[in-house]
Amino acid sequence: MNGEEHEAKTTNDVEANAEQAEEEVESTVSADTKVVRLKAIGVNAVTLFCRQLSTLVDVGIPLLKCLQILYQRTSQPKLQAIIHEVSQDIEQGTSFSDALEKYPRVFSPFFVNMTKVAEKGGSLDESLRIVADVMEKEDVMKQKVKEALFYPVVTLLVGVFVVGILIAVVIPMFGNLYAQQDFDLPWPTEVLLTIGDPQMFWVWILLIGGVILFLIAYSKSHGSKAFYDRYKLKAPIFGPLFMKLYVARFARNFGTLIRGGVPLLQALDVMKETSENMVFAEAIDNAVQYVERGGRLEQPLREADVFPDVVVDMVAIGEEAGKLDLMLFKIAELYDGEVDRTVNTLASSLQPILIVILGFLTAFIAAAMFWPYFRMTDFLGTGF
């Protein structure tokens, strides 16, 4: 009788926890539903799915039941369809990680490998929580960069619009005025009048359109991707920022995989697959080959010339001490701070620089247009 009472109590506890977890999931969906609806299946939607699934699994609800709950609660149709397909695969005997692996554009190799670790003896709810934390951290860093560059970009667009109006509307008006006069125009004025000539409109359209089409076609080639990724790291202003972002991301995700129990070579393969930069992907691939031959991770990273010396030194210390994951998290923390400082510096310095450049350009156009006008009025004044 005591055993039956204990079993009934346990069942009631699980049901109560399930109801509480469902309420938490529902409240989370209500709070974030706008974010999910605005994006197809973006980072926010997948992160939300992770958090909700972690909450449900944590209270002891079976995985299939968790997925059924999320299927009913999810307001995003595409994600809902994927949850349904994943549930069906699990019912047919497929593992959770293999079911997720069928959707690489939604669930990254990092996500899939963390679930594989949990399936081999880890804690699924803990793995999902870690994945959600990592995804949120990366999204926060990207949002910081976007927010910092928002006002400089707006300033640039406004400046381009103003200059475009001057060239398309104001300059042709002066051109009609000067065409009636019989005197030589300064070369800056001649250049601007040629650019703003209405007869050149379609020439400029065809030229700009051709350049855009060429860039689109070229961007789809493998060579252009490699060139662009290499240039991003060497660019005068933004190069250091991209470098720090990639290093922080590599260290955080790599450290998470190592701490989660993923073997070193497998973790490196995951990092290669998830790298957004081909230069970093090639460097990691070289590291994989080197480690496969029995070498240490330090040497290929140092030879890659994309990882700063301090990063390689910290990795070497972590390898020697048997605390590679801890050292990688220290690197991620260090470079997260570097990214914050770099972003703040760019935000505070770019906008004034752009304002000065656009102001100079506008002043140059105004001077080039009014200079002949003042000469013309002086000429007419002396003529009378």
Q: What is the pLDDT of residue 219?
A: 66
For 315-345, how does the pLDDT look when each residue is reduced to its tens digit (9 = 90+)?
999 999 989 999 999 999 999 999 989 888 8
- Other Cβ atoms less than 10 A from the Cβ of 236: the count is 6
Query: What is the rounded CA–CA span in Å between residue 216 and residue 232?
Result: 18
Report the amino acid identity of residue 350: L
pTM above 0.85, yes or no: no
Q: What is the pLDDT of residue 381?
A: 55
* Ordered domains of the chain (ranges, CATH): 2-107 (1.20.81), 136-384 (1.20.81.30)
Query: What is the rounded CA–CA span in Å between residue 21 and residue 71?
Result: 15
Query: What is the rounded CA–CA span in Å between residue 172 and residue 155?
Result: 25
Q: What is the chain's alpha carbon radius of gyration, rounded to the nearest angstrom?
A: 30
Query: What is the rounded CA–CA span in Å between residue 38 and residue 51?
Result: 19
Report whether 307 contacts 247 (CB < 8 A): yes
Query: What is the rounded CA–CA span in Å between residue 334 and residue 327?
Result: 10
126, 121, 123, 101: which is closest to 111 by C-alpha? 101
For 234-247, how does the pLDDT look when each residue is reduced to its tens digit (9 = 90+)?
888 888 989 999 99
φ, ψ for residue 265 (rounded to 5)?
A: -65, -40
Query: What is the rounded CA–CA span in Å between residue 275 and residue 109?
Result: 10
Distant-in-sequence, close-in-space partners of 323: CB < 8 Å, separation ≥ 6 = none
Banded model confidence at residue 40, pLDDT cuts 50, 70, 90: low
Task: Kindly state the tokens that stand for 262.
Answer: 């993923």
Report whether 295 contacts 287 (CB < 8 A): no
Is the predicted pLDDT of residue 8 greater than 70, yes or no? no
